[in-house]
Amino acid sequence: MKTIGIDIGTTTISGVVIDMDQKNVIESRTVSNGSFLQAAHDWERIQDVDAILRKAQSLVDELLDRNPDASSIGITGQMHGIVYIDKEGKHVSPLYTWQDRRGDLADEKTGVSPVEEIREKTGAVVSAGYGLVTQLSLQRRGLVPEDAAALCTIGDYLGMVLTGRDRPLIHISNAASLGLFDSRNLRFDLENIRKCGISEELLPEVTADVEVLGLYRRIPVHAAIGDNQASFLGAAGDQEYALLINMGTGGQISLLTDKYTEIEGIETRPFARGKYLLVGASLCGGRAYAVLEQFFRLYAEALAPGAGPQYEVMERLVNGMDRSELSVSTLFAGTRDDPDLRGSVTNISEDNFTPAMLIYGVLTGMAEELYEMYQKISEATRIRAAKLIASGNGLKKNAALQAICSRMFQAELEMAAVKEEAAAGAARAAMSSGVYTEG
């Protein structure tokens, strides 16, 4: 029995075919997303919905053509961001991605940003890029499309397009990512949404199950799940005491629990009925290493035009190292709670300020940011990770970072069994929800 999984990431769109009997990926395909629209402001991060849909649907068709015996289609994609839909189920806006920072912009009259307003009125911890924060920002400026009838994530919208639905039905994992969601009771927090004056009529219907949305080419298409939950499911299944460390554009640690727990600085995200992921997220994550590579590349290009990427040189410089005398904070983009925080390099001496020490220090700083979050989770739950599972190319392709994480978390690090964890997790979620029958 075969299942197809699609993942609409920020930079790539991936698809896999899983043989559910053998429990392995038999085919995978990844294409560039490449849909960012030219921004008028440096805080604006929006993508072309039509471009995304063309690539995603083409990928679905390609996999179905080669696997006509597939029994279901699962979807996941970048969480937090939103696209507006009209009454006919057509999009009427770009995708406002999770990286969009308009929620941090102060109102011209009050001097208060949407993030600050929501926190002051409700006490809820939200960040710029969360769907309902973006909604409030657009609403305050009169920029919500007049014909908008609902909002949803890009994964939800792909499901609508494939099945011809005119109204989004979104899984609790995606709904929670929009902010102002009651994760304990698995519903939008309408009381606090009303306190903020957010238009509740645009809220989508929510489901706790990976329901069938309809058919595409006579194949059941299931409700999209959040990419964090999908990545965990694809990499670790439903293993307890397994800590997933993801280092991609951002950085995340995720631990599965069957108890709803509130921990300061940690998100409790719905996973499935009766199960939650405790998640710590760094804004910069693997991007910190990319920033450092760009620093070295600029120098290399000045020295020898056409020098190109410096990752291979950087990896060679830290080969065999086990510590750095430099202390590096990689809060280059702040934190979700305080986006104004910035990174630093300390303990510099005339002897230790070398490229190798700086590279190793940045890698250590990336790991430390996640480890501090893990300590919070462990202290609150008394759970110690029995296994570390590596996800994301930023970690899976960097041997030095792997060694740092294994030593810091005091557990053996193993690679996720599949390359495209999120797409694989979407496929497994679709299959686990049961078989669809018409009528």
Q: What is the mean pLDDT of residues 179-192?
A: 96
At 255-305, the pLDDT tens digits run: 998 889 999 889 899 998 889 999 998 878 888 999 999 999 999 999 999
At 223-255, the pLDDT tens digits run: 999 999 999 999 888 777 889 998 877 888 999
Q: What pLDDT was estimated at residue 21?
A: 77
Q: What pLDDT was estimated at residue 411?
A: 87
CA distance 221 to 233: 18
Q: What pLDDT was estimated at residue 439?
A: 35
Query: Other C-beta atoms within 10 Å of 78: how many?
Result: 27
Distances (CA, A) of 172 to 224, 226, 371: 10, 8, 27
Above 70 in pLDDT, residue 437? Answer: no
At 121-154, the pLDDT tens digits run: 999 989 999 999 999 999 999 999 999 999 999 9
Pick the closest to residue 59 from 7, 95, 1 (CA basis): 7
Q: What is the mean pLDDT of residues 89-100?
A: 97
DSSP run (H or E) holding 291: helix 287-303
**Range from 76-85, 117-126, 379-388 carrying the lowest mean pLDDT:** 379-388
The one-letter amino acid at 275: K
Side-chain half-sphere of 334: how many Cα atoms within 13 Å? 11
CA distance 167 to 291: 41
The one-letter amino acid at 19: D
Q: What pLDDT was estimated at residue 30?
A: 95
Percentage, residues of the chain above pLDDT 70: 98
Place of tokens 């991605």: 97
Q: What pLDDT was estimated at residue 219?
A: 96
Give the DSSP per-residue string, 328-397. Answer: EE--TT--SS-TT---EEES--TTT-SHHHHHHHHHHHHHHHHHHHHHHHHHHH----SEEEEESHHHHT
Q: What pLDDT was estimated at residue 366?
A: 95
Distances (CA, A) of 80 to 49, 94, 116, 126, 177: 15, 14, 18, 11, 5
Q: What is the mean pLDDT of residues 380-392?
A: 88
What is residue 165's DSSP assignment? -
Mean residue pLDDT of the chain comes to: 93
pTM of the predicted model as reported, rounded to 2 decimal places = 0.86
Confidence of residue 435 (pLDDT cuts 50, 70, 90): very low
Please answer whether residues 220 and 410 qualify as being in contact, where contact means their C-beta atoms are separated by less than 8 angstroms.
no
Length of the chain: 439
Percentage, residues of the chain above pLDDT 90: 79
Pick the closest to residue 425 from 251, 282, 277 (CA basis): 277
At 273-286, the pLDDT tens digits run: 889 999 998 878 88
Q: What pLDDT was estimated at residue 192?
A: 97
Q: What pLDDT was estimated at residue 243?
A: 93
CA distance 356 to 236: 33
Above 60 in pLDDT, residue 436? Answer: no
**Range from 159-163, 262-266, 346-350 carrying the lowest mean pLDDT:** 262-266
**Range from 7-11, 350-354, 429-433 carrying the lowest mean pLDDT:** 429-433
CA distance 225 to 219: 18
Pick the closest to residue 367 from 341, 333, 330 (CA basis): 330
Torsion of CA 203, 209, 213, 218, to 10 degrees: 170
CA distance 52 to 222: 19
At 368-377, the pLDDT tens digits run: 999 999 999 9
Confidence of residue 108 (pLDDT cuts 50, 70, 90): confident
At 312-347, the pLDDT tens digits run: 999 999 999 999 999 999 998 887 777 788 999 999
